[in-house]
A and B are shown apart, each in its own frame.
Chain A
Amino acid sequence: MTDNLFREEVRAFLERALTPDIVRAGELMTSVFADYDATMKWHRALHSQGWIAPDWPAEYGGTGWTLNQRYIFQEECKLANAPSLPAMGLQMLGPMLMLHGTEQQKDYYLPRILSGEDMWCQGYSEPGAGSDLASLITSAVRDGDDYLINGSKIWTSYAQHSNKIFCLVRTSKEGRPQAGISFILVDMDSQGLQVEPIVGLDGTVEQCQVFFDNVRVPASNLLGQENQGWDVAKSLLEFERGGHNFTIDHKKQMAKINKQANSQRDADNQLWSQNPVFTAKLADIAVDALALEYTELRVKGAFEAGGNAGALSSLTKVVGTEIGQRFNELSLEVMGEHALVKQLDALQPSYQGDTIGPDCGLTTMAEYINNRASTIYGGSAEIQRDIIAKRVLRL
């Protein structure tokens, strides 16, 4: 099938499956997560179409699409304002299960990720272990056929909606810190596991802290061997970095800011889109976004040629998130005081009441606030620069 025909097919599906409430959830996204109920509705629609995991090999339930087709699918979904799906199960744990899981683990967990029956969250960071992840201290001690887990995980996105958590835990204090870490799969309803929500700057809950008090987990829930969890996690982190396409986000941000600049007026009563300071700033962002777009195509080309993107994925993570933040800041300049109005109800897709101010400014401040996290999560911008210095420049 040609790419154009494929694009038509995707569009036809999106027109059918993206109901107004789902689209509204996509429009009202103020972070990488959309409204939970709408997200799950969209998840089920994709699952019944067989399109829930385009990046997975066909044998595990993937679509068998080419890289180009997957890119087109992502692009069309984003531009049609489909909500993003949480990455933890589909993008992160799934591929690692395929690489490191036993047959039983794969048979059990993978279909449940596809169907949405399991919602996973990621238990990596701890209060004392962020960028220096290998210093983590949450412990798993062998007790017969089980492990007993004690400690706490933090910045656990979506834990409040999840029934499963995959964790890095310390199983040994011998040798290098990395050498004593194991990767384990835990039920959230286990005895002794407690979730505390963390209220973010916009007043909503996206992150949690998860506490483990003698949580008993069967030893068969290890992914990979005991004390080999660091290697499992490392490949996962690389997937997290390389897996995201920032250009598609930027196109959506560009469409949004053009809408804002073509409706709001500056001090001289001109549309902001005619204001020279605004246009100069937007041009500067657009040029960097274009350079990133072709860099992402180089990354894609490297994958297609069977190689890997290496440090270019650190580059795209840093530059992609920083460009996103520049869009957020420029939106604030245009929306002015409209951005101040806090109306969290109106950010729910099910909301039917009146909203205050222009629709194109509903999310402006929340996006700006929430997106500060983008250069922190998934390997901070500083850690990415460390990686480039070490791995590429050999410093």
Chain B
Amino acid sequence: MFIEYSEEQTMLHDSADKYLRENYSFENRQAALARDAGFNAEQWQMFADLGWLAMTFEEEAGGFGGGALETMILCEQFGKYLVLEPYLESVVLVGGLLEAGGQTAIKQQYLAGLMAGELQGALAYLEEGHMANPQYVAAKAEVAANGYLLNGHKAVVLNGPEADLFLVTARTGNDVLDSAAGISLFAVPKNAPGLSCKNYKTYDGRSACELQLDNVALDAQALVGVAGEFSELAEPIFSRAIVAVCAEAVGAMDALLNATVDYTKQRKQFGQSISSFQVLRHRMADMYMDIELTRSLLMATAWKLDNGSEDAQQCVAALKAKVGKAGRYVSHNAIQLHGGIGTTDEFSVGHYFKRLAAIGVMFGSRDSHLSRYMQFEI
């Protein structure tokens, strides 16, 4: 077959499933949601102790050398149990970018802390009005004495309120604001003078902020990757992030289908289980088919990314588009088949729905990736 799991990968899957099943009940999750941080710091520490946070870093950096497949395996379980902790933001995005491009001092200062669960990160790269294009960057970084001076505004910075470290994109050259060339990435500590955050919650229960940078002075060590080459640095990291959220989506869709099957079996109307009605049975069969198709594409994409296949980027675009479509189909019908109870905050189904809605718009919507897909030869 085109994909075979190693023994370690199978173990990772099984142990993540087991740990979360035993320790991550929906009730506990809802309790954590009510806290200020929006997640459970003790859980985060457990994730670190279990080795999950270090899983995908190189061994020389103190990690276990995992790739897109390991990211997929973990995130699928996170999706299934609706995990709130900011694995995507701190580990996949910030950790991935720091490992790929951070200078020694910054790496030493932050990377070990991220893996140990002691520090949090947030990537600030989007700007208002340009959600589909991470290469639209109006924020500027001017070369100043011993370093850089940053000015600008960043929108929807996920995990921003919890972050100890921000990675911020700013233009160092090329005045064309949507040019891929000339964008640089900078490591900005949360207490840097001139940095201000407007914090808020997102509909899927996470925290985020708008980030304002007014004459934030950074030393030369703060530059992550080569000046002007953020786009090259980021492509594999964004691909990994898309695998992460799509795996989460597959886990969430699985959970929704299971919940819907169980519910329709026990819910009685007209004197019988509503699962006996063919219109509902076929709806659930369609949900199943969409999930399995998405799973196939997810596995193939992760595999291709890890093996450097030529068509990996095309698969990434196809995957994100497919998740957009399937995520809506599955979550809408899960709510529909649950009836009124599915529309309440008290019941888990609506929370899966909101997470899938969030994933649908992140890192390029369905339409955005369909457009991208068409640019490849098909």
Chain A residues with a Cβ under 8 A of chain B: 254, 279-280, 282-284, 286-288, 290-292, 294-295, 297-298, 300-302, 304-305, 312, 315, 318-319, 382, 384-386, 388-389, 392-395
State the CA gap A318–B286 with chains docked (Å).
10
Which residue on A lies nearest to B297, using beta carbons?
A: A291
B261/A294 in contact, CB under 8 A? no
With A297-B296, A315-B289, A394-B261 in contact, do A386 and B278 touch (Cβ < 8 Å)?
A: yes
Which residue on B lies nearest to A318, using beta carbons?
A: B289
B284/A290 in contact, CB under 8 A? no
Question: A-B pairs with the 5 shortest C-beta distances?
Answer: A301-B1, A294-B296, A389-B281, A291-B293, A385-B285
B289/A319 in contact, CB under 8 A? yes
Write 12 A-B pairs (CB below 8 A) sorted by A numbering: A279-B374, A283-B373, A286-B373, A290-B318, A291-B293, A318-B289, A382-B282, A385-B281, A388-B288, A389-B282, A395-B264, A395-B284
State the CA gap A302–B1 with chains docked (Å).
8
Residue B142 CB within 8 A of the other chain: no
Which residue on A lies nearest to B289, using beta carbons?
A: A315
Question: Closest Cβ of chain B: how far from A26's Cβ, in Å?
Answer: 22
Residue B53 CB within 8 A of the other chain: no
Q: Which residues on B sit within 8 Å (CB–CB) of A295? A: 292-293, 296
A298/B296 in contact, CB under 8 A? yes
Q: Which residues on B sit within 8 Å (CB–CB) of A284? A: 321, 325, 370
A283/B378 in contact, CB under 8 A? yes
Residue B216 CB within 8 A of the other chain: no
Residue B77 CB within 8 A of the other chain: no
* Proximity string of chain B (277-306) to chain A, C-beta cutoff 8 Å, 1 when within and 0 when not: 010011011101100111011011000000
Residue B315 CB within 8 A of the other chain: yes
CB-contacts of B254-276 with A (<8 A): 257, 261, 264-265, 275-276
Question: Closest Cβ of chain A: how far from B370's Cβ, in Å?
Answer: 5
* Proximity string of chain B (219-256) to chain A, C-beta cutoff 8 Å, 1 when within and 0 when not: 00000000000000000000000000000000000000
State the CA gap A298–B293 with chains docked (Å).
10
A291/B1 in contact, CB under 8 A? no
With beta carbons under 8 angstroms apart, the residue of B1, B261, B286, B322 that contacts A395 is B261
With beta carbons under 8 angstroms apart, the residue of A300, A315, A392 that contacts B1 is A300
Which residue on A lies nearest to B276, using beta carbons?
A: A395
With A283-B321, A294-B299, A386-B278 in contact, do A393 and B288 touch (Cβ < 8 Å)?
A: yes
B2/A283 in contact, CB under 8 A? no
A385/B282 in contact, CB under 8 A? yes
**Secondary structure at chain A's binding surface: helix, strand, loop or mixed?**
helix
Question: Closest Cβ of chain A: how far from B83's Cβ, in Å?
Answer: 25
Question: Closest Cβ of chain B: how far from A32's Cβ, in Å?
Answer: 22
A393/B261 in contact, CB under 8 A? yes
Which residue on B lies nearest to A394, using beta carbons?
A: B261
Question: Closest Cβ of chain A: how far from B278's Cβ, in Å?
Answer: 7
State the CA gap A392–B287 with chains docked (Å).
12
Interface hub of B261, B276, B289, B292 (most chain A Cβ within 10 A):
B289
Question: Closest Cβ of chain A: how far from B173's Cβ, in Å?
Answer: 33
B292/A385 in contact, CB under 8 A? no
A290/B282 in contact, CB under 8 A? no
Q: Which residues on B sit within 8 Å (CB–CB) of A385? A: 281-282, 285-286
Question: Closest Cβ of chain A: how far from B323's Cβ, in Å?
Answer: 10
With beta carbons under 8 angstroms apart, the residue of A287, A300, A395 that contacts B321 is A287
State the CA gap A42–B118 with chains docked (Å).
69
Q: Which residues on B sit within 8 Å (CB–CB) of A382? A: 282
Q: Which residues on A sit within 8 Å (CB–CB) of B288? A: 315, 388, 392-393
B282/A395 in contact, CB under 8 A? no
Q: Which residues on B sit within 8 Å (CB–CB) of A290? A: 297, 315, 318
Q: A287-B370, A388-B285 are in contact. List 10 more A-B contacts (CB 8 A).
A: A282-B374, A282-B378, A287-B373, A291-B318, A294-B299, A297-B1, A301-B2, A305-B1, A382-B282, A393-B285
Question: Closest Cβ of chain B: how far from A245's Cβ, in Å?
Answer: 15
With A282-B378, A294-B299 in contact, do A288 and B293 touch (Cβ < 8 Å)?
A: yes
State the CA gap A360–B293 with chains docked (Å).
31
Q: Which residues on B sit within 8 Å (CB–CB) of A254? A: 378
B374/A395 in contact, CB under 8 A? no
Q: Which residues on A sit within 8 Å (CB–CB) of B367? A: 280
Q: Which residues on B sit within 8 Å (CB–CB) of A384? A: 285
Q: Which residues on A sit within 8 Å (CB–CB) of B1? A: 297-298, 300-302, 304-305
Q: Which residues on A sit within 8 Å (CB–CB) of B371? A: 280, 283
Which residue on A lies nearest to B4, using beta carbons?
A: A301
State the CA gap A279–B373 with chains docked (Å).
10
Which residue on B lies nearest to A390, using beta carbons?
A: B281
Q: Which residues on B sit within 8 Å (CB–CB) of A291? A: 293-294, 296-297, 318, 322
B265/A395 in contact, CB under 8 A? yes
With A388-B285, A393-B261 in contact, do A288 and B374 touch (Cβ < 8 Å)?
A: no
Which residue on B lies nearest to A296, using beta carbons?
A: B296
State the CA gap A305–B275 with chains docked (Å).
34
Question: Closest Cβ of chain B: how far from A394's Cβ, in Å?
Answer: 7
State the CA gap A291–B373 with chains docked (Å).
13
A280/B370 in contact, CB under 8 A? yes
* Proximity string of chain B (298-341) to chain A, C-beta cutoff 8 Å, 1 when within and 0 when not: 01100000000000000100100110010000000000000000
State the CA gap A219–B371 with chains docked (Å).
63
Q: Which residues on A sit within 8 Å (CB–CB) of B2? A: 294, 297, 301
Q: Which residues on B sit within 8 Å (CB–CB) of A394? A: 261
State the CA gap A315–B261 with chains docked (Å).
18
Q: Which residues on B sit within 8 Å (CB–CB) of A287? A: 318, 321-322, 370, 373
B275/A395 in contact, CB under 8 A? yes
Q: Which residues on A sit within 8 Å (CB–CB) of B374? A: 279-280, 282-283
Question: Closest Cβ of chain A: how far from B43's Cβ, in Å?
Answer: 32
Question: Closest Cβ of chain B: how far from A303's Cβ, in Å?
Answer: 10
* Proximity string of chain B (79-119) to chain A, C-beta cutoff 8 Å, 1 when within and 0 when not: 00000000000000000000000000000000000000000
Q: Which residues on B sit within 8 Å (CB–CB) of A300? A: 1
Question: Closest Cβ of chain B: how far from A308's Cβ, in Å?
Answer: 14
Question: Closest Cβ of chain B: how far from A280's Cβ, in Å?
Answer: 6
State the CA gap A298–B297 with chains docked (Å).
10
